[in-house]
Structure 1
Amino acid sequence: MPVDQLQTPDGFWARQDVRTAVRVRDIGTLVRLLVRHTGASQTRIGAVVGLEQGYVSRVIAGRKVTSIDVLERIADGCGMPDETRMSLGLAVLTAEALVMEAHAHAAARDERACTTALHQAEQTLDRADRSSDPQWLGYFDEAYLSAKFGHCFHALGRYQQAERFTACSLQMDERYVRGKAFNLTLLASIHAHNGEPDRASVIGAKALTLTSQLRSARAVRYLRDLQTKLTAHRRRPAVRHFINRVDVTLGQRR
């Protein structure tokens, strides 16, 4: 059981070296600074954050901390102020974790649990102050969240909602070419499911153009899945053109 919070000296969280460590999520440096400025031992710090001393030692030695649960324990046990938590990206990471949970529920066809997790993710992101987010969290925006909603509703077979969210996801930063290729292929797949093979082929062709610029096995797999879905409609000129173009661009299937 964690004990009382670690007492940090006044101004500790405002120090430039502390702010930098938090912003880049260098938890090893942050713990070393806590040891230096509070006089606490590794054992003491482990106690207040609910982690074993050996784990704390490995973090100081350079072990990366990516678990949201561990980051939250450190924030809680060390009395990290809200502004610093935002710099650590905890709100956004929590939303990301909820989205991953929703994906798992969607795969299991548990619609109620999926929509609950998605709603919580949306609320978490809405409440977050993004002004102090670290740069590496810039990808997690409304377009990204819309794409995740689209994937979940697609897995649930709720294609009307999937189409709406996936279309919104295309209002994204054009620098994220890989993500846009994914989202276009998802939208094309939704149209294929909705009995719109020509429209699916047109959108799929846009995804193919982007995928040809990438080295992404996942993007290729999504396009191959779309190609398979559309094979039953290959007598249609637009579909036949798309299927043939996929084979020319990605190579014939073995």
Structure 2
Amino acid sequence: MKIVVAGASGLIGTQLAADLRRSGHDVAAASLSLGVDTVTGKGLAAAMTGAEVVVDVTNAASFGDSSALAFFKASTKNLLAAAAEAGVRHYLALSVAGTPRLVESDYFRAKAVQENLILASNRPYTILRSTQFYEYINGVIDIGVEGNLFRLPPASMRPVAAREVAAFLAELAIGNPFGNIIEIGGPEQFGIDEIARIYLAANEDQRQVITDPSTSYFGVELSGDVLLPGVGARMASQTLSDWLYKSMAA
């Protein structure tokens, strides 16, 4: 089966393409560094030729301004149009858990637009919303950095290993479209402040973490369980401590 991976040079895309190739599939790796520009459409038609499935794991370069909206609008419209032209049977996209509840943020508003474009396209689709990756914990912690300390909210999240998200996407790609939004999260629940303390201790970083519910998360003041996946989400298996141990050993 030919499967197009859009965003194939990123954290998820690299692992996903490798997983699919190991399973014997013909993978067309599409990314800007490989000559395919989803924003302008350059190279998309050639990449889509003969494809049955498209997996959209593209991401905007910036989280903090309106450029994310411009990226996702253009990229998603071009990918959907190229998929329709090629007669692709399954459009699979990666999104973020909590997106509809975080639209005060420029980035999450852009992700909501991406999701809505897919829903309105009449293409057979699956959208997978994932919780935050372990690999990006340092970026989450940095939202609250203030000199020699971190001021972070206690809002709960269930971080997950990128490799398990990629493996689930590979599983979904070879199956039938769900025509729905599904979710994946990690096996453990932590407050963001708690995750920071664990991560900093593991890295022998002595900086202090102060719990502050008013600290915003990429422009959104968090409340309740907005970052958690809902009932019925796929629960991954790798724990934070296991991931930290293996990443440090590597």
TM-score by length of 1: 0.29
The structure in which a higher percent of residues are helix is: 1
Question: Greater share of strand residues, 1 or 2?
Answer: 2
- When Rg is computed on C-alpha atoms for both structures, the one with the higher figure is 1
**Structure 2-normalised TM-score?**
0.29
